[in-house]
A and B are shown apart, each in its own frame.
Chain A
Amino acid sequence: MMKTSPALRRRTLLLATPALAMPAIGRAQETFPSRTIEVVTHAGVGGGTDITARMMMVHAPGEFKQELVVVNRVGGSGAAALAYAASKPRDGHTILLITQTHLLTLLRGRAPGLTYEDIVGVARATEDPQVLMVGKGSPFRTAKDFLEAAKTTKFKFGTTQVGGVDHLAVYGFAKEAGIQQPTIVPFRGGGDIAINLVSGNIDAALVNPAEPEAQIKAGDIIPLLVLHEERVPSIPDTPTAKEIGINSTHATVRGFAVLKGVPEDRLAILEEKLIKAMSTPLYQNYLASTGQAKGSVAGRRVWQAQLDAFYRTGREALAELGITR
């Protein structure tokens, strides 16, 4: 895919160094952006979020008339990436590609010197809806039957990291659907969850639809309910929560953000050009092929509102679950 070679990236970094050394005065009058833009991600090279950044970057240089480079700062669930961004001037030349995980890291005080108020959303990049799924051995074939039974039975739900984004989604969904809080069985990744759904070790899980695509096709995993405004194209027969009268939407999201202090006019430029770069067929194809929602790309207002909402509910959920640090 569109991977910049490490050598190439290093060269662009070197080219960017003289610009860094330039005095701050005079830069205000310059056209923005005036040098290479760094896109900081917490994912390693080839990770999901890293690929999102690189997909956006295919057409972004043409929009910005500047080079863009990905900076991978792995570690601490986004803490390393946040710390790196905090070490850079807040002039718009450093943008973060964040996920809900970054917000949880901030929420739990794991990013020294930064709070949620420092995060300013610029544009949303991907939105991957969560879908309630069961294995083929499950007696339930519709969401209604499952949820009815879940009112009296404590089911086992497979998730990733306890206290992580997926866990909070299960917690929120159970509250919104009025079912018993399920027992959480944490796994390392979506693949393990899929295998254990098929083998019946867990009763259900909230999964992004693209992950167990092979198993859904084979009938080994049955999607019951889409926790999104619209149905998912790859599983057109699965109803949304709204259709059966439950107000519950959960998704894995990624989007661009900067740290507070970047001037308003530069924010507007970043928003406009990023959205343009992500409106190209190439990026939209990438969204479709990875099962992301059609309306993934969204501007500042939508994205900031979503971040605020997630931060609010996340804080409540973590407090209720007793996970604060």
Chain B
Amino acid sequence: MIDFLAGAASIMTPELFGIVLLGTMLGVFVGALPGLSGSTTAALLLPLTVTMSPIAAIAFLGAIYCGANYGGSITAILINTPGDPSASATALDGYPLAARGEAGRALGMAAVASTLGGIFSVCVLVVATPLLARFAYNFGPPEYFALAVFGLSMLGAVGGAGALKSLIAGCLGVLLATVGMDLTTGVERFTFGIPDLSDGIGFVPVLTGLFAVAELLDQSTRLDERVERHPLTAAKLPSRQDFRRSGKAIGIGAVMGTAIGVLPALGATTAAILAYNEVRRVSKHPEEFGKGAIEGIAGPEAANNGAVGGSMVPTLALGIPGSGTTAIILAGLLVQGVRPGPHLFNEQPEFLYAVFSSMLAANLIFLCAGLFMAKLFAMITLIPNAFLWPAVLFCSVIGAYAPNQAMGDVWTMLVFGVVGFFFRRHGISPAPLVMGLVLGQLVEESLKQSLIIFDQSWAGFLGRPIALVLFAVTVATLMAPVLLRAARRLGALRASG
């Protein structure tokens, strides 16, 4: 607790608070902008953070992450275009409300639910981190292998675009992870003699390409399309009755969002969709959903911001990112020379608590922003595409080139822009590809390391309880649909018999 207060105090310098404020507002801004997501922005600004102190850098990226997850709801509600993928569930009930002229109510609920979800998850993070610290030295290669397998087992579910398509994208990601010099043999694989590829395919250029460049290409194909817009009166606080109706939904969203966020493989988008389904399932009037139910905003908004805090747990404690944005935050940590892992909690608690405090502050900042300035945010969408997207491309090229000062990274970005465009055209989500790229290297290296440690005997895994538990959870997750169906059939049999 003292550590936490010390951390909280450390962000109360004008410089750091300014950075958090800037990051949050920027996050809300780009989150609201369709196609410019928090992960794109974090990737673009990653080189900028290099010159900051480690705390400032991570507080900045974390604030963008928090802000963007809220900002996405603004455009989702106003123009039925989720500004961030994680706000896609919010559009389902938010837009009907806005269409009825109740945009203020919808935006207000989104801001409040997001803040409550976000604060809940950060509290969990603060309480649970000392516990996570005990795992310090229990995670060796076998445990990481089991964890990576667990993460990869969810490749099919992560995109939300059909399991087969997600698996195709995921496998492509895993294959891409094999490019570069192999750690255990010192041999270059799939580099074709190009020096730029010998360290593997860069993460930032792939992300920038898949998200920003692909969106640009996509936008350029529908220049003539007009997006319907609705006047916005004011963003007023939801009524007491709205809160009474939504209390349970916020609770469900916050808990589910945090829990799902903690799982390395699942992020805010999945959390919001699952929470929406769950809120509807327990509602007394599920028929109102999809037609403007206020709980339909509260649930997913609490969930996607809950997932923000949740996904910081594996990122910081295990060095395994739970989403695209945390992957960039992880890169930011590494650039700063902060090695994520359980030891962080022992060695640099003040650093962690400063990060958590800045995330709390970000949540409160976007609550104020959401309530007072929603109308202003909505004007972002009025920027003509002809100005907006060339500017985005310009930033993308700089963002890809800057970290390594290598043109190779720019080509990588452009190639993945085309890949991302192709993906969109065929309804394939880029999320599994990113996940495959992250986990592919981990799964291969940790398996090879494990086998060397076990003298090439697979039986060695049997002596590692944490790995066994993770394997068991993986099997259970994969089997869950089959088991549930069997149980239901058994129940039906019993009822009829």
Contacts and interface: CB of A to CB of B under 8 A. Distances in A.
B449 A214 contact: no
A76 B138 CA distance: 33
B198 A75 contact: yes
Given A156-B453, A185-B452, A199-B140, A74 B186 contact: no
Interface string A87-130: 00000000000000000000000100000000000000000000
A198 B406 contact: no
Contact of A195 (B47, B139, B452): B139
Contacts of B187: 325
Nearest to A194: B343
B277 to A, nearest CB: 39
A163 B186 CA distance: 5
Interface in B184-228: 184-187, 195-196, 198-199
Indicate the size class of the contact surface on chain B: 35 or more
B41 to A, nearest CB: 18
Interface string A1-33: 001011000000000000000000000000000
A227 B406 CA distance: 37
Given A6-B47, A199-B137, A162 B186 contact: yes
B181 interface: yes
Contacts of A71: 405
Interface stretch (A77-85, A171-179, A240-248, A300-308): A77-85
Interface in A35-78: 44-46, 71-77
B404 interface: yes
B247 interface: no
Interface string A187-225: 111010001101101100000000000100000100000
A196 B399 CA distance: 35
B141 interface: yes
Nearest to B52: A3
Given A75-B408, A162-B185, A195-B341, A6 B336 contact: no
Nearest to B405: A72
Nearest to B185: A162
Given A45-B50, A46-B336, A164-B186, A195 B181 contact: no
A323 B405 contact: no
Given A74-B406, A196-B140, A185 B195 contact: no
Contact of A189 (B50, B339, B343, B403): B339
A218 to B, nearest CB: 9
A76 B50 contact: no
A161 interface: yes
Interface string A253-280: 0000000000000000000000000000
A153 interface: no
A189 B340 CA distance: 12
B404 A74 contact: yes
A83 B195 contact: yes
A186 B140 contact: no
B195 A75 contact: yes
Given A72-B404, A196-B140, A201-B140, A186 B196 contact: no
Contacts of A186: 183-184, 449
B51 interface: yes
B50 A161 contact: no
A234 interface: no
Contacts of B406: 73-75, 80
A161 B181 contact: yes
A183 interface: yes
A80 B196 contact: yes
A5 B402 CA distance: 12
Contacts of A80: 195-196, 406
Contacts of A199: 137-138, 140
A163 B195 CA distance: 17
Contacts of B346: 214
Contact of B337 (A46, A79, A201, A325): A46
A79 B187 CA distance: 15
Interface in B315-348: 335-337, 339, 341, 343, 346-347
Nearest to B454: A201
Contacts of A188: 183, 445
B181 A74 contact: no
Interface string A129-165: 0000000000000000000000000001000011110
Given A75-B195, A77-B198, A161 B186 contact: yes
Interface in B254-286: none
Contacts of B452: 156, 183-185
Interface in B400-425: 402-406, 408
Interface of A: 3, 5-6, 44-46, 71-77, 79-80, 83, 110, 156, 161-164, 167, 183-189, 191, 195-196, 198-199, 201-202, 214, 220, 323, 325
* 8 nearest A-B pairs in the assembled complex, by CB-CB distance: A163-B186, A76-B195, A74-B404, A162-B186, A79-B195, A199-B137, A191-B339, A201-B140
Given A74-B405, A79-B195, A191-B341, 15 more contacts: A44-B403, A44-B404, A46-B335, A72-B405, A73-B405, A74-B403, A75-B195, A76-B198, A161-B186, A162-B183, A167-B186, A186-B449, A195-B136, A196-B140, A199-B138
28 contacts: A3-B51, A5-B51, A6-B402, A44-B335, A45-B403, A46-B50, A46-B337, A73-B404, A73-B405, A74-B404, A75-B196, A75-B406, A75-B408, A76-B195, A79-B198, A156-B452, A161-B186, A162-B183, A162-B186, A163-B186, A185-B449, A185-B452, A186-B184, A188-B445, A195-B343, A199-B138, A201-B141, A214-B347
